[in-house]
A and B are shown apart, each in its own frame.
Chain A
Amino acid sequence: MKKAVLTLFVVALVAFSCEKDNELENSTLGSNPYENPVLPYVTVERSTTLRTDSSIVVFDLKIHLDRIPADLDMRFVQQGIIDPFGDTVVTAKVNGIFLNKKIDGPSNYQIGLFDTEKRRISALSEYTHL
């Protein structure tokens, strides 16, 4: 009986005297280059208005494939644009995209990529139409 109790005691002490180490103590998340990209994935090649006082602007876009991951599944990827009024336009077109604009001043747009399957958006770049 004494031996059993002592054995239990020793085993318990050995098993539990050593503390479990915090393996994430020095772990940091780092930075993802796609979170705040230096260069935009989609740029506006040309933006034209039909008339000076028009509230419509036409965009021609360019997708920079060299700036996005090579293994990205592009089947459901389209272009996403948030106009100055907060409305989002998702389109598969690259040229001739009609968008709303402010009549009385410059209009800011946020442009990026949109995954229509999982409804995900990439980092957006700013574009101002004067």
Chain B
Amino acid sequence: MKIFSHFALDQYIWHVLTSALLLMFLSPELVFAQESSGIARVYTQPAQAVIKVNGELVRYGEELKLDTGVHKVEAWVEGYAFMSKEFRLTAGEFKTVRVKLLPSEEFSHYRKKLKLYKTQTAMLKFLPIAAYTGYAVISLSKLQNLNDEADDNFQLATEAKSAYNNGFWLNDLEENKALYFQSKADYEKNIKELNKKRTEFAVVTGSAVIVSFLTWKAAMKLKKPLFKAESQMHRFTCTPVLLPRNNGVHLTYEF
């Protein structure tokens, strides 16, 4: 009897399994129609946003097995406006929910102020130095040219003097005499201009140092705008705890 009943149970299981397999093969819709969940994943832009689905914290792109029906997704990140949207999930569905966060007005304002601050700081710090560098490059180049010109004229005058002293022909003597006086005059003019430019350069350099120092100090005194956005995803809960030994209140803050 015991053997018979065991056999009958085996046969019963066998029949049930065979029927189930046949049913699945012939009409899978009938089988899966019974499924009551789907999979959803949430992508946000920007990717570092805090994401919650039905109030539960989820990761970016995480595959979530959810019941069919309407679900609520919330996303927020500092500097962007809080975004909440709902989506419907049907049975067996694999749904990708994309949430694009828009920069908040406060954050846009802050970015403008920050940009202005950076521009002001950079200009105060580097504009006088850049201007002076430009001036110095041009001025030094001019000084170098003047110096070269003065050296050339000096050389020319020396050569003309030597040629005049050693000359014989009247044409050469007159030519070298004229060349000497002309070169000497040009050389003296170069020297005068060179010394004037050098003094000017020294004065401008001194002024540039003072101005750069003052503007640098002024730049350091400028206050950098700060941005502190209040979390839109926080949740504060207060739960009373009533235990035989320990009574109190359980406070939780969810960021």
List residues of A whose CB falls within 8 A of some B CB: 1-2, 5-6, 8-9, 12-13, 16-17, 19-25, 27, 29-30, 32, 34-35, 68-69, 72, 112, 115, 118-124
Evaluate contact between B168 and A68: CB separation under 8 angstroms.
yes
Inter-chain contacts of A13 with B (CB < 8 A): 202, 205-206
Evaluate contact between B198 and A24: CB separation under 8 angstroms.
no
Is the CB of B22 closer than 8 A to any CB of chain A?
Answer: no
Is the CB of B195 closer than 8 A to any CB of chain A?
Answer: yes
Nearest CB of chain B from residue A80's CB, rounded to whole Å? 11
Known: A19-B198, A27-B157, A27-B161. A72 touches B168 (CB 8 A): yes
Inter-chain contacts of B195 with A (CB < 8 A): 19-20
Known: A20-B191, A34-B173, A35-B173. A12 touches B168 (CB 8 A): no
Inter-chain contacts of A16 with B (CB < 8 A): 143, 198-199, 201-202, 205
Q: Which of A30, A35, A118, A124 has the most CB of B within 10 A?
A: A35
Task: Out of B143, B169, B202, B213, name the residue touching A5 (CB < 8 Å).
Answer: B213
Give the interface SS of chain A, mostly helix, strand, loop or mixed: loop
Nearest CB of chain B from residue A120's CB, rounded to whole Å? 4
A-B contact pairs, 24 of them (CB 8 A): A1-B216, A2-B213, A5-B212, A8-B205, A9-B206, A12-B201, A13-B205, A16-B198, A20-B147, A20-B194, A21-B191, A22-B188, A22-B191, A24-B157, A24-B184, A27-B184, A29-B177, A32-B167, A119-B171, A120-B171, A120-B172, A121-B170, A122-B169, A124-B170
Q: Which of A17, A20, A119 has the most CB of B within 10 A?
A: A20
Nearest CB of chain A from residue B190's CB, rounded to whole Å? 9
* CA–CA, A1 and B125, complex, Å: 10
Evaluate contact between A121 and B171: CB separation under 8 angstroms.
yes
Task: Write the B188-212 contact mask toward A (1 if CB under 8 angstroms, else 0).
Answer: 1001001100110110011001001
Task: Out of A9, A21, A29, name the residue touching B164 (CB < 8 Å).
Answer: A29
List residues of B whose CB falls within 8 A of some A CB: 129, 136, 143, 147, 150, 154, 157, 161, 164-165, 167-173, 177, 180-181, 184, 187-188, 191, 194-195, 198-199, 201-202, 205-206, 209, 212-213, 216
Evaluate contact between B169 and A115: CB separation under 8 angstroms.
yes
* CA–CA, A1 and B37, complex, Å: 65
| B209 closest partner in A (C-beta) | A9
Evaluate contact between B157 and A34: CB separation under 8 angstroms.
no
Inter-chain contacts of B206 with A (CB < 8 A): 9, 13
Inter-chain contacts of A27 with B (CB < 8 A): 157, 161, 184
| B194 closest partner in A (C-beta) | A20
* CA–CA, A115 and B169, complex, Å: 8
Nearest CB of chain A from residue B169's CB, rounded to whole Å? 4
Evaluate contact between A24 and B168: CB separation under 8 angstroms.
no
